[in-house]
Amino acid sequence: MKKGTGIQLVEMTEHAHGIAIAPMSSDYLDQGLDDQSSDAHRHDFYTLFILDGGFLSFNVDFEPVSMEPLSLLLINPGQIHHCTSYRDISGWVMAFDAKLIDQKSRNELGQALRQIVTKRLNQDETTVLSQLLALLYQGSQNNTSGEFRMQYLQSLLNAVFYYIVNLFQSLDSEAAASHSPRAITITRQFQQLVKEQCITWKKPAQYAYQMNISVSYLNDTLKTVTGLSSTHFIQQEIIYEARRLLVYTNQSVKEIAATLGYDDYKYFIRIFSKMAKTSPAKFRLSEKGNKA
């Protein structure tokens, strides 16, 4: 685990095959796969929760996420999160190295029209996932060596991931039914570019140029699919990064503005205040007061 003045990064170093899986009970989060589950942190690996019974809640990237029986939550590498409450929980929890997952399915989930991967499941979906996870657990606990043991575990892991991706593709297909495939592709491409370039690219024209379309066409497409403008997406991502820095570092507001690519920190404060409905200083005081 890396520690510093910023956000703690929990690394998968103790599990040689890159998979850590266990049945989840009420005392799991007291022990956990790491010792920081109640403190905000991020992982360099995926973490999957399947809840069969009880109640479990998290804060993921400053958004509250509540899990009820028959639901899943997949926390992506890099997402800041911590558990806020749990009661009488049962199900499965699994941490796994992103390198073990098929790249195409990872990309597909990364381009989904959502930031937080969570879903209510029906009984059949829960049964399928639970059966796959039970096989994975049994295989990971079997210490006998075999030429294809790792391939077996990785195949089961990818089966779980493929199944989850298919579930979310179905959701996206329903959401996108009234839009053209090109509009959905443009929206996903733009969202991915914003995640990658928002620190250096602040103007919609820079994204439109990269995508080889006009700014007006980009905005019209985004508003049709999401109801939001390109500027909103760019500023929203910036504010999200600013919140991380305000809460988990000791940088001044002026330093944070510079980190996020703003030479004029007063302009950054205006944007933050407009998007977050509070000033950076008040946001920091509020969040740190809640943690006291």
pLDDT tens digits for 186-219? 998 998 899 899 999 999 999 999 999 999 999 9
| CATH placement of domain 181-291 | 1.10.10.60
What is the rounded distance in angstroms from the CA atom of residue 243 to the CA atom of residue 195?
A: 15
Residue ranges with strand state E in the chain: 8-10, 19-24, 41-43, 46-60, 63-67, 71-75, 81-96, 117-120
Domain 8-175: which topology? Jelly Rolls (2.60.120)
Between the ranges 12-16, 28-32, 59-63, 160-164, where is the mean pLDDT highest? 160-164
Specify whether the CB–CB gap between 195 and 177 falls below 8 A: no
pLDDT band at 274 (very low <50, low <70, confident <90, very high): very high
Specify whether the CB–CB gap between 117 and 73 falls below 8 A: yes
Residue 173: CB partners within 8 Å, gap ≥ 6? none
250 pLDDT higher than 50: yes
The structure tokens listed for 121 are 């499941």
The structure tokens listed for 77 are 């590498």
62 pLDDT higher than 60: yes
Specify whether the CB–CB gap between 83 and 56 falls below 8 A: yes
pLDDT for 3: 40
What is the rounded distance in angstroms from the CA atom of residue 260 to the CA atom of residue 268?
A: 9
Residue among 94, 10, 100, 11 at smallest CA distance from 50: 94
64 pLDDT higher than 80: yes
pLDDT, mean of residues 132-142: 92
pLDDT for 129: 97
Break the chain into its structural domains and give their ranges. Answer: 8-175, 181-291
Q: Are strands 46-60 and 71-75 parallel, antiparallel or unpaired?
A: antiparallel
What is the rounded distance in angstroms from the CA atom of residue 152 to the CA atom of residue 130?
A: 17
pLDDT band at 278 (very low <50, low <70, confident <90, very high): very high
pLDDT, mean of residues 46-63: 91
pLDDT for 111: 61
pLDDT for 68: 94
35 pLDDT higher than 60: no
pLDDT for 184: 85
pLDDT band at 107 (very low <50, low <70, confident <90, very high): confident
pLDDT for 172: 62
265 pLDDT higher than 60: yes
